[in-house]
A and B are shown apart, each in its own frame.
Chain A
Amino acid sequence: GQQLNQSPQSMFIQEGEDVSMNCTSSSIFNTWLWYKQDPGEGPVLLIALYKAGELTSNGRLTAQFGITRKDSFLNISASIPSDVGIYFCAGLFNSGNTPLVFGKGTRLSVIA
Protein backbone atom coordinates (compact mmCIF):
# COMPACT_ATOMS: atom_id res chain seq x y z
CA GLY A 1 0.00 0.00 0.00
CA GLN A 2 0.94 3.62 -0.31
CA GLN A 3 3.05 5.19 2.39
CA LEU A 4 4.28 8.65 3.12
CA ASN A 5 7.98 9.52 2.98
CA GLN A 6 8.93 10.41 6.52
CA SER A 7 12.36 11.65 7.57
CA PRO A 8 14.58 11.28 9.36
CA GLN A 9 14.15 7.61 10.28
CA SER A 10 15.83 8.16 13.63
CA MET A 11 17.33 10.97 15.68
CA PHE A 12 19.58 11.13 18.71
CA ILE A 13 19.50 14.51 20.40
CA GLN A 14 20.54 16.14 23.63
CA GLU A 15 17.90 17.16 26.13
CA GLY A 16 16.90 20.74 25.52
CA GLU A 17 17.51 20.67 21.78
CA ASP A 18 14.83 21.35 19.21
CA VAL A 19 13.67 18.61 16.85
CA SER A 20 12.25 18.75 13.36
CA MET A 21 10.79 15.95 11.25
CA ASN A 22 8.76 15.96 8.07
CA CYS A 23 6.60 13.96 5.72
CA THR A 24 6.14 14.25 2.00
CA SER A 25 3.82 12.63 -0.49
CA SER A 26 3.28 12.56 -4.20
CA SER A 27 -0.45 12.81 -3.55
CA ILE A 28 -2.58 15.57 -2.08
CA PHE A 29 -4.08 15.04 1.35
CA ASN A 30 -7.04 16.80 2.95
CA THR A 31 -5.91 16.09 6.50
CA TRP A 32 -2.55 15.53 8.15
CA LEU A 33 -2.24 13.92 11.57
CA TRP A 34 0.80 13.46 13.79
CA TYR A 35 0.93 10.59 16.30
CA LYS A 36 3.39 9.46 18.94
CA GLN A 37 3.82 5.82 19.88
CA ASP A 38 5.43 4.69 23.12
CA PRO A 39 6.73 1.11 23.44
CA GLY A 40 3.92 -1.40 23.87
CA GLU A 41 1.22 1.20 23.28
CA GLY A 42 -0.93 2.41 20.44
CA PRO A 43 -0.30 5.66 18.56
CA VAL A 44 -1.56 8.72 20.42
CA LEU A 45 -2.79 11.70 18.45
CA LEU A 46 -0.64 14.81 18.96
CA ILE A 47 -1.81 17.30 16.37
CA ALA A 48 -4.38 17.36 13.57
CA LEU A 49 -4.18 19.72 10.57
CA TYR A 50 -7.12 20.40 8.25
CA LYS A 51 -6.22 23.35 6.04
CA ALA A 52 -3.33 23.97 3.68
CA GLY A 53 -0.90 26.39 5.31
CA GLU A 54 -2.34 25.77 8.77
CA LEU A 55 0.15 26.04 11.64
CA THR A 56 -0.96 24.44 14.89
CA SER A 57 0.70 24.15 18.29
CA ASN A 58 0.20 21.78 21.18
CA GLY A 59 2.50 22.78 24.03
CA ARG A 60 6.08 22.39 22.81
CA LEU A 61 4.90 20.80 19.57
CA THR A 62 4.21 22.72 16.40
CA ALA A 63 3.04 21.24 13.11
CA GLN A 64 2.26 22.73 9.72
CA PHE A 65 0.16 21.57 6.78
CA GLY A 66 2.12 22.40 3.64
CA ILE A 67 0.55 24.79 1.17
CA THR A 68 0.88 22.25 -1.62
CA ARG A 69 -1.03 19.78 0.59
CA LYS A 70 1.69 17.23 -0.12
CA ASP A 71 3.81 17.71 2.96
CA SER A 72 3.81 18.45 6.68
CA PHE A 73 6.38 18.99 9.39
CA LEU A 74 6.46 18.56 13.15
CA ASN A 75 8.76 20.53 15.44
CA ILE A 76 9.43 19.80 19.09
CA SER A 77 11.08 22.57 21.06
CA ALA A 78 13.28 22.12 24.14
CA SER A 79 13.13 18.32 24.09
CA ILE A 80 12.81 16.39 27.35
CA PRO A 81 13.39 12.69 28.10
CA SER A 82 9.68 11.83 27.89
CA ASP A 83 9.67 12.91 24.23
CA VAL A 84 11.36 9.60 23.45
CA GLY A 85 9.26 7.43 21.14
CA ILE A 86 8.26 6.93 17.54
CA TYR A 87 6.50 9.76 15.76
CA PHE A 88 4.24 8.97 12.81
CA CYS A 89 2.72 11.24 10.26
CA ALA A 90 -0.54 10.15 8.68
CA GLY A 91 -2.65 11.53 5.88
CA LEU A 92 -6.27 11.32 4.87
CA PHE A 93 -7.14 11.60 1.19
CA ASN A 94 -10.80 12.26 1.68
CA SER A 95 -13.00 13.68 4.35
CA GLY A 96 -15.56 11.42 5.92
CA ASN A 97 -12.98 9.54 7.93
CA THR A 98 -11.36 7.11 5.55
CA PRO A 99 -8.26 4.99 6.20
CA LEU A 100 -5.01 6.67 7.16
CA VAL A 101 -1.87 6.46 5.07
CA PHE A 102 1.17 6.36 7.34
CA GLY A 103 4.80 7.30 7.23
CA LYS A 104 7.28 4.73 8.53
CA GLY A 105 7.98 6.78 11.61
CA THR A 106 10.80 8.78 13.17
CA ARG A 107 12.40 7.16 16.21
CA LEU A 108 13.46 9.87 18.64
CA SER A 109 16.03 9.28 21.37
CA VAL A 110 16.80 12.01 23.91
CA ILE A 111 20.08 11.95 25.79
CA ALA A 112 19.87 13.56 29.20
Chain B
Amino acid sequence: DARVTQTPRHKVTEMGQEVTMRCQPILGHNTVFWYRQTMMQGLELLAYFRNRAPLDDSGMPKDRFSAEMPDATLATLKIQPSEPRDSAVYFCASGTPPGQLTDTQYFGPGTRLTVL
Protein backbone atom coordinates (compact mmCIF):
# COMPACT_ATOMS: atom_id res chain seq x y z
CA ASP B 1 0.00 0.00 0.00
CA ALA B 2 2.03 2.96 -1.30
CA ARG B 3 1.64 6.13 0.75
CA VAL B 4 3.13 9.57 1.11
CA THR B 5 4.80 9.95 4.48
CA GLN B 6 5.47 13.18 6.33
CA THR B 7 7.42 14.00 9.46
CA PRO B 8 6.91 15.33 12.00
CA ARG B 9 3.13 14.99 12.35
CA HIS B 10 3.02 17.80 14.90
CA LYS B 11 5.42 20.61 15.67
CA VAL B 12 5.13 23.34 18.28
CA THR B 13 7.83 25.96 18.23
CA GLU B 14 8.50 29.49 19.28
CA MET B 15 8.57 32.47 16.98
CA GLY B 16 11.95 32.91 15.37
CA GLN B 17 12.89 29.24 15.43
CA GLU B 18 13.71 27.20 12.34
CA VAL B 19 11.24 24.53 11.28
CA THR B 20 11.97 21.70 8.84
CA MET B 21 9.27 19.44 7.48
CA ARG B 22 10.02 16.29 5.50
CA CYS B 23 8.13 14.29 2.92
CA GLN B 24 8.72 10.96 1.25
CA PRO B 25 6.71 10.73 -1.96
CA ILE B 26 5.30 7.54 -3.41
CA LEU B 27 7.98 5.57 -5.22
CA GLY B 28 7.81 6.30 -8.93
CA HIS B 29 5.99 9.59 -8.55
CA ASN B 30 8.20 12.34 -9.90
CA THR B 31 6.02 15.35 -9.08
CA VAL B 32 5.90 16.58 -5.49
CA PHE B 33 3.68 19.37 -4.17
CA TRP B 34 3.64 21.33 -0.93
CA TYR B 35 0.25 22.70 0.11
CA ARG B 36 -0.77 24.65 3.22
CA GLN B 37 -4.20 24.43 4.83
CA THR B 38 -5.69 27.10 7.07
CA MET B 39 -9.25 27.77 8.15
CA MET B 40 -9.28 31.12 6.41
CA GLN B 41 -7.61 30.27 3.11
CA GLY B 42 -8.30 26.57 2.72
CA LEU B 43 -5.75 24.55 0.73
CA GLU B 44 -3.15 26.59 -1.09
CA LEU B 45 -0.13 25.66 -3.17
CA LEU B 46 3.25 26.68 -1.81
CA ALA B 47 5.63 25.02 -4.27
CA TYR B 48 6.08 22.01 -6.48
CA PHE B 49 8.86 19.99 -8.07
CA ARG B 50 9.17 17.67 -11.02
CA ASN B 51 12.12 15.34 -11.28
CA ARG B 52 13.51 17.19 -8.24
CA ALA B 53 13.58 20.52 -10.08
CA PRO B 54 11.46 23.36 -8.70
CA LEU B 55 8.73 24.38 -11.15
CA ASP B 56 6.79 26.92 -9.16
CA ASP B 57 7.38 28.37 -5.73
CA SER B 58 5.42 31.57 -6.19
CA GLY B 59 3.11 30.64 -3.32
CA MET B 60 5.90 30.77 -0.77
CA PRO B 61 7.17 33.80 1.12
CA LYS B 62 10.68 33.69 -0.30
CA ASP B 63 12.33 35.54 2.53
CA ARG B 64 11.57 32.80 5.05
CA PHE B 65 10.45 29.66 3.24
CA SER B 66 12.59 27.30 1.20
CA ALA B 67 11.77 23.99 -0.46
CA GLU B 68 14.20 21.42 -1.78
CA MET B 69 14.38 17.85 -3.04
CA PRO B 70 17.81 16.52 -2.15
CA ASP B 71 16.91 13.21 -3.77
CA ALA B 72 13.93 11.48 -5.34
CA THR B 73 12.80 10.04 -2.02
CA LEU B 74 12.92 13.19 0.08
CA ALA B 75 11.37 16.64 -0.15
CA THR B 76 11.88 19.27 2.54
CA LEU B 77 10.13 22.50 3.45
CA LYS B 78 11.98 24.84 5.75
CA ILE B 79 10.80 27.98 7.51
CA GLN B 80 13.42 30.29 9.00
CA PRO B 81 12.55 32.29 11.01
CA SER B 82 9.06 31.03 11.81
CA GLU B 83 6.22 33.41 12.69
CA PRO B 84 2.84 32.84 14.37
CA ARG B 85 1.06 33.41 11.04
CA ASP B 86 2.83 30.32 9.69
CA SER B 87 0.69 28.15 11.98
CA ALA B 88 -1.18 25.78 9.68
CA VAL B 89 -1.23 22.22 8.43
CA TYR B 90 1.36 21.58 5.71
CA PHE B 91 0.65 18.80 3.26
CA CYS B 92 2.93 17.09 0.83
CA ALA B 93 1.35 15.42 -2.18
CA SER B 94 2.92 13.28 -4.85
CA GLY B 95 1.61 13.03 -8.36
CA THR B 96 1.60 10.37 -11.01
CA PRO B 97 4.16 10.96 -13.75
CA PRO B 98 3.07 13.25 -16.57
CA GLY B 99 2.11 11.62 -19.82
CA GLN B 100 -0.29 9.20 -18.24
CA LEU B 101 -3.96 9.62 -18.95
CA THR B 102 -4.84 9.59 -15.29
CA ASP B 103 -3.31 12.52 -13.43
CA THR B 104 -3.81 12.00 -9.73
CA GLN B 105 -2.33 13.41 -6.56
CA TYR B 106 -2.02 11.59 -3.26
CA PHE B 107 -1.63 13.45 0.00
CA GLY B 108 0.44 12.73 3.06
CA PRO B 109 -1.04 12.98 6.57
CA GLY B 110 0.29 16.51 7.04
CA THR B 111 2.45 18.34 9.56
CA ARG B 112 0.46 20.46 12.00
CA LEU B 113 2.64 23.45 12.84
CA THR B 114 1.99 25.78 15.74
CA VAL B 115 4.23 28.81 16.16
CA LEU B 116 3.86 30.51 19.52
Q: Mark B25-44, 1 if CB is under 8 A from A, else 0.
A: 00000010101000000111
Interface residues of B in 94-114 (CB under 8 A from A): 95-99, 101-110, 112
Q: A1-B45, A3-B42, A88-B43 are in contact. Are A42 and B107 (CB under 8 A)?
A: yes
Complex alpha-carbon distance, A88 and B45, angstroms: 15
Chain B nearest CB: distance from A44 CB in Å?
Answer: 7
Enumerate chain B residues within 8 angstroms of A45, measured Cβ to Cβ.
104-107
- Does the CB pair A97–B110 fall under 8 Å? no
CB-based contact A50/B101 at 8 Å: yes
Contact with B along A20-45 (1 / 0, CB 8 A): 00000000001101010000111111
**A side interface size, CB within 8 A:** 27
Q: Which residues of A contact B112 (CB under 8 A)?
A: 40
Q: Does B16 interact with chain A (Cβ within 8 Å)?
A: no
Which chain A residues border B43 with CB–CB below 8 Å? 43, 88, 100, 102
Are B108's CB and A42's CB within 8 A? yes
Whole-angstrom distance between the Cβ of A93 and the nearest chain B Cβ: 11
Nearest chain A CB to B5 CB, angstrom units: 11
A48→B109 contact, CB < 8 A: no
| Chain A positions within 8 Å of B104 at CB level | 33, 45, 48, 97
Q: Is B18 an interface residue (CB 8 A)?
A: no
Q: Which 10 A-B pairs have the closest CB atoms?
A: A96-B98, A42-B107, A97-B95, A102-B43, A99-B45, A97-B31, A97-B103, A43-B107, A104-B42, A42-B109
Chain A positions near chain B (C-beta within 8 angstroms): 1, 3, 30-31, 33, 35, 40-45, 48, 50, 88, 90, 92, 95-100, 102-105
